[in-house]
Structure 1
Amino acid sequence: MIGGLTTTIEIASLAMAVWALISTFRNRSMDTWHLIGIGLLWLLLLGQGVVSVVMMAGGERPAEMVTFIAYLATVVLIPPACALWGLMERTRWGPAVIAFACLILPVMMVRLEQIWDPSLV
Protein backbone atom coordinates (compact mmCIF):
# COMPACT_ATOMS: atom_id res chain seq x y z
CA MET A 1 0.00 0.00 0.00
CA ILE A 2 1.19 3.49 -0.80
CA GLY A 3 0.57 5.87 2.09
CA GLY A 4 0.35 8.99 -0.09
CA LEU A 5 -2.22 7.40 -2.37
CA THR A 6 -4.22 6.25 0.64
CA THR A 7 -4.24 9.79 2.02
CA THR A 8 -5.31 11.14 -1.38
CA ILE A 9 -8.17 8.63 -1.50
CA GLU A 10 -9.28 9.58 2.00
CA ILE A 11 -9.27 13.31 1.23
CA ALA A 12 -11.02 12.85 -2.13
CA SER A 13 -13.62 10.62 -0.51
CA LEU A 14 -14.35 13.11 2.26
CA ALA A 15 -14.57 15.96 -0.27
CA MET A 16 -16.99 13.91 -2.36
CA ALA A 17 -19.06 13.17 0.76
CA VAL A 18 -19.32 16.88 1.59
CA TRP A 19 -20.32 17.70 -1.99
CA ALA A 20 -22.96 14.94 -2.03
CA LEU A 21 -24.33 16.06 1.35
CA ILE A 22 -24.65 19.62 0.07
CA SER A 23 -26.61 18.29 -2.91
CA THR A 24 -28.80 16.28 -0.56
CA PHE A 25 -29.55 19.29 1.66
CA ARG A 26 -30.28 21.42 -1.43
CA ASN A 27 -32.84 18.79 -2.49
CA ARG A 28 -31.05 17.93 -5.74
CA SER A 29 -30.83 14.55 -7.39
CA MET A 30 -27.64 12.94 -8.61
CA ASP A 31 -26.22 14.38 -11.83
CA THR A 32 -23.40 13.75 -14.27
CA TRP A 33 -20.87 15.62 -12.12
CA HIS A 34 -21.55 13.28 -9.22
CA LEU A 35 -20.86 10.34 -11.53
CA ILE A 36 -17.62 11.92 -12.71
CA GLY A 37 -16.53 12.52 -9.12
CA ILE A 38 -17.32 8.99 -7.99
CA GLY A 39 -15.62 7.68 -11.15
CA LEU A 40 -12.41 9.55 -10.34
CA LEU A 41 -12.53 8.24 -6.79
CA TRP A 42 -13.02 4.74 -8.17
CA LEU A 43 -9.95 5.14 -10.41
CA LEU A 44 -7.88 6.08 -7.36
CA LEU A 45 -9.16 3.01 -5.53
CA LEU A 46 -8.42 0.79 -8.52
CA GLY A 47 -4.89 2.21 -8.59
CA GLN A 48 -4.40 1.39 -4.92
CA GLY A 49 -5.80 -2.09 -5.56
CA VAL A 50 -3.40 -2.72 -8.44
CA VAL A 51 -0.45 -1.43 -6.42
CA SER A 52 -1.40 -3.67 -3.49
CA VAL A 53 -1.74 -6.75 -5.70
CA VAL A 54 1.62 -6.03 -7.38
CA MET A 55 3.28 -5.60 -3.99
CA MET A 56 1.78 -8.88 -2.75
CA ALA A 57 2.94 -10.63 -5.94
CA GLY A 58 6.40 -9.19 -5.28
CA GLY A 59 6.57 -10.87 -1.88
CA GLU A 60 5.24 -8.26 0.53
CA ARG A 61 2.38 -9.65 2.55
CA PRO A 62 -0.14 -8.12 4.93
CA ALA A 63 -0.44 -9.63 8.39
CA GLU A 64 -3.92 -11.02 7.65
CA MET A 65 -4.02 -11.85 3.94
CA VAL A 66 -7.65 -13.01 3.61
CA THR A 67 -9.00 -10.06 5.60
CA PHE A 68 -6.91 -7.64 3.56
CA ILE A 69 -8.14 -9.06 0.25
CA ALA A 70 -11.76 -8.95 1.46
CA TYR A 71 -11.43 -5.30 2.52
CA LEU A 72 -9.65 -4.41 -0.73
CA ALA A 73 -12.35 -6.04 -2.86
CA THR A 74 -15.08 -4.30 -0.87
CA VAL A 75 -13.41 -0.90 -1.15
CA VAL A 76 -13.09 -1.27 -4.92
CA LEU A 77 -16.75 -2.34 -5.31
CA ILE A 78 -18.33 0.40 -3.16
CA PRO A 79 -18.08 3.32 -5.68
CA PRO A 80 -19.76 1.55 -8.63
CA ALA A 81 -22.43 0.12 -6.33
CA CYS A 82 -23.26 3.50 -4.80
CA ALA A 83 -23.21 5.18 -8.23
CA LEU A 84 -25.71 2.64 -9.55
CA TRP A 85 -27.90 2.97 -6.47
CA GLY A 86 -27.68 6.76 -6.67
CA LEU A 87 -28.75 6.68 -10.31
CA MET A 88 -31.73 4.52 -9.54
CA GLU A 89 -32.80 6.84 -6.72
CA ARG A 90 -33.90 9.93 -8.64
CA THR A 91 -34.66 12.00 -5.53
CA ARG A 92 -32.41 13.90 -3.18
CA TRP A 93 -31.51 10.59 -1.55
CA GLY A 94 -29.32 9.58 -4.50
CA PRO A 95 -26.52 11.93 -3.41
CA ALA A 96 -27.14 10.82 0.18
CA VAL A 97 -26.19 7.27 -0.85
CA ILE A 98 -22.97 8.61 -2.36
CA ALA A 99 -22.24 10.64 0.77
CA PHE A 100 -22.74 7.63 3.00
CA ALA A 101 -20.46 5.47 0.86
CA CYS A 102 -17.81 8.20 0.74
CA LEU A 103 -17.85 8.46 4.53
CA ILE A 104 -17.27 4.71 4.82
CA LEU A 105 -14.31 4.61 2.40
CA PRO A 106 -11.80 6.55 4.57
CA VAL A 107 -12.55 4.27 7.52
CA MET A 108 -11.97 1.21 5.37
CA MET A 109 -8.74 2.69 3.97
CA VAL A 110 -7.42 3.22 7.51
CA ARG A 111 -8.31 -0.38 8.31
CA LEU A 112 -6.50 -1.58 5.18
CA GLU A 113 -3.39 0.30 6.29
CA GLN A 114 -3.63 -1.28 9.75
CA ILE A 115 -3.93 -4.77 8.28
CA TRP A 116 -1.03 -4.13 5.88
CA ASP A 117 1.24 -2.82 8.63
CA PRO A 118 0.13 -3.87 12.14
CA SER A 119 2.62 -1.45 13.73
CA LEU A 120 0.26 1.39 12.71
CA VAL A 121 -2.37 0.29 15.24
Structure 2
Amino acid sequence: MVEALTTTIEIASLLLAGWCLVSTVRDRSMGVGHLVAMALLELLLIGQVVVSTVLMVGGERPEETITFIAYLATVVLIPPACALWGLLERSRWGPAVIAFACLILPVMMVRLDQIWNPALA
Protein backbone atom coordinates (compact mmCIF):
# COMPACT_ATOMS: atom_id res chain seq x y z
CA MET A 1 0.00 0.00 0.00
CA VAL A 2 1.08 3.53 -0.67
CA GLU A 3 1.15 5.62 2.51
CA ALA A 4 0.52 8.92 0.72
CA LEU A 5 -2.54 7.51 -1.06
CA THR A 6 -3.87 6.03 2.17
CA THR A 7 -3.46 9.37 3.96
CA THR A 8 -5.12 11.21 1.06
CA ILE A 9 -8.09 8.84 1.19
CA GLU A 10 -8.44 9.30 4.94
CA ILE A 11 -8.30 13.10 4.74
CA ALA A 12 -10.68 13.29 1.76
CA SER A 13 -13.10 10.96 3.50
CA LEU A 14 -13.09 12.99 6.72
CA LEU A 15 -13.55 16.26 4.82
CA LEU A 16 -16.49 14.79 2.92
CA ALA A 17 -17.96 13.49 6.18
CA GLY A 18 -17.75 16.98 7.66
CA TRP A 19 -19.41 18.53 4.61
CA CYS A 20 -22.20 15.97 4.70
CA LEU A 21 -22.75 16.47 8.43
CA VAL A 22 -23.05 20.22 7.84
CA SER A 23 -25.61 19.50 5.09
CA THR A 24 -27.53 17.26 7.48
CA VAL A 25 -27.57 19.89 10.22
CA ARG A 26 -28.67 22.54 7.70
CA ASP A 27 -31.56 20.23 6.65
CA ARG A 28 -30.31 19.88 3.05
CA SER A 29 -30.83 16.81 0.91
CA MET A 30 -28.01 15.22 -1.00
CA GLY A 31 -26.99 17.08 -4.15
CA VAL A 32 -24.83 16.59 -7.20
CA GLY A 33 -21.80 17.96 -5.34
CA HIS A 34 -22.04 15.18 -2.78
CA LEU A 35 -22.19 12.58 -5.55
CA VAL A 36 -19.21 14.09 -7.37
CA ALA A 37 -17.19 14.08 -4.14
CA MET A 38 -18.16 10.45 -3.50
CA ALA A 39 -17.11 9.57 -7.07
CA LEU A 40 -13.71 11.22 -6.53
CA LEU A 41 -13.30 9.33 -3.26
CA GLU A 42 -14.21 6.12 -5.07
CA LEU A 43 -11.55 6.84 -7.71
CA LEU A 44 -8.96 7.21 -4.95
CA LEU A 45 -10.07 3.89 -3.47
CA ILE A 46 -9.89 2.18 -6.86
CA GLY A 47 -6.38 3.58 -7.21
CA GLN A 48 -5.47 1.98 -3.88
CA VAL A 49 -6.91 -1.33 -5.10
CA VAL A 50 -4.86 -1.14 -8.29
CA VAL A 51 -1.65 -0.27 -6.43
CA SER A 52 -2.21 -3.02 -3.86
CA THR A 53 -2.97 -5.55 -6.58
CA VAL A 54 0.17 -4.65 -8.51
CA LEU A 55 2.26 -4.95 -5.34
CA MET A 56 0.72 -8.35 -4.52
CA VAL A 57 1.26 -9.64 -8.06
CA GLY A 58 4.86 -8.43 -7.75
CA GLY A 59 5.34 -10.65 -4.71
CA GLU A 60 4.80 -8.22 -1.85
CA ARG A 61 1.99 -9.62 0.29
CA PRO A 62 0.55 -9.14 3.74
CA GLU A 63 0.57 -12.14 6.08
CA GLU A 64 -3.23 -12.23 6.13
CA THR A 65 -3.82 -11.95 2.39
CA ILE A 66 -7.44 -13.16 2.43
CA THR A 67 -8.38 -10.72 5.19
CA PHE A 68 -6.62 -7.91 3.34
CA ILE A 69 -8.46 -8.67 0.10
CA ALA A 70 -11.80 -8.84 1.95
CA TYR A 71 -11.20 -5.44 3.57
CA LEU A 72 -10.06 -3.98 0.26
CA ALA A 73 -13.19 -5.23 -1.53
CA THR A 74 -15.41 -3.88 1.24
CA VAL A 75 -13.73 -0.47 1.19
CA VAL A 76 -14.42 -0.16 -2.54
CA LEU A 77 -18.08 -1.21 -2.18
CA ILE A 78 -19.02 1.13 0.69
CA PRO A 79 -19.06 4.46 -1.21
CA PRO A 80 -21.28 3.37 -4.12
CA ALA A 81 -23.68 1.55 -1.81
CA CYS A 82 -24.00 4.52 0.53
CA ALA A 83 -24.18 7.00 -2.34
CA LEU A 84 -27.12 5.07 -3.78
CA TRP A 85 -28.78 4.85 -0.38
CA GLY A 86 -28.19 8.56 0.24
CA LEU A 87 -29.55 9.43 -3.20
CA LEU A 88 -32.72 7.44 -2.58
CA GLU A 89 -33.20 9.16 0.78
CA ARG A 90 -34.44 12.56 -0.33
CA SER A 91 -34.58 14.04 3.17
CA ARG A 92 -31.74 15.57 5.15
CA TRP A 93 -30.69 12.06 6.17
CA GLY A 94 -29.26 11.36 2.71
CA PRO A 95 -26.05 13.27 3.48
CA ALA A 96 -25.99 11.62 6.92
CA VAL A 97 -25.69 8.23 5.22
CA ILE A 98 -22.73 9.53 3.20
CA ALA A 99 -21.16 10.98 6.36
CA PHE A 100 -21.51 7.61 8.07
CA ALA A 101 -19.74 5.88 5.18
CA CYS A 102 -17.02 8.52 5.16
CA LEU A 103 -16.39 8.01 8.87
CA ILE A 104 -16.05 4.25 8.39
CA LEU A 105 -13.55 4.48 5.54
CA PRO A 106 -10.61 6.00 7.48
CA VAL A 107 -10.97 3.31 10.14
CA MET A 108 -10.93 0.62 7.48
CA MET A 109 -7.93 2.22 5.78
CA VAL A 110 -6.01 2.17 9.07
CA ARG A 111 -6.90 -1.49 9.47
CA LEU A 112 -5.77 -2.24 5.91
CA ASP A 113 -2.48 -0.52 6.67
CA GLN A 114 -2.10 -2.60 9.84
CA ILE A 115 -2.72 -5.82 7.92
CA TRP A 116 -0.29 -4.80 5.17
CA ASN A 117 2.41 -3.71 7.63
CA PRO A 118 2.02 -5.55 10.99
CA ALA A 119 4.84 -3.47 12.49
CA LEU A 120 2.42 -0.51 12.57
CA ALA A 121 -0.15 -2.38 14.69
- Distance in 2 (CA, whole Å) between partners of 1:116 and 1:48 is 12
Residue 36 in structure 1 maps to residue 36 in structure 2: yes
Task: Normalising by structure 1, report the TM-score.
Answer: 0.99
CA RMSD of aligned residues (A): 0.3
Report the counterpart of residue 59 of structure 2 in structure 1: 59
- Count the aligned residue pairs: 121
Amino acid corresponding to residue 23 of structure 2 in structure 1: S
Q: SS where residue 90 of structure 2 aligns?
A: coil
- Distance in 1 (CA, whole Å) between partners of 2:18 and 2:43 is 19
- Distance in 2 (CA, whole Å) between partners of 1:71 and 1:3 is 17
Report the counterpart of residue 109 of structure 1 in structure 2: 109
Shift of 1:79: 0.6
Amino acid corresponding to residue 19 of structure 2 in structure 1: W
- Distance in 2 (CA, whole Å) between partners of 1:97 and 1:51 is 28
User: What whole-Å deviation, never above 9, does each CA across 1:38-74 have from its counterpart, x for those lacking one?
Assistant: 0000000000000000100000001100100000000
Task: Normalising by structure 2, report the TM-score.
Answer: 0.99
Shift of 1:5: 0.3
Q: SS where residue 91 of structure 1 aligns?
A: coil
Report the counterpart of residue 70 of structure 1 in structure 2: 70
Q: SS where residue 56 of structure 1 aligns?
A: helix
Moved over 6 A (4+): none
**Unpaired segments ≥5 residues, structure 1:** none
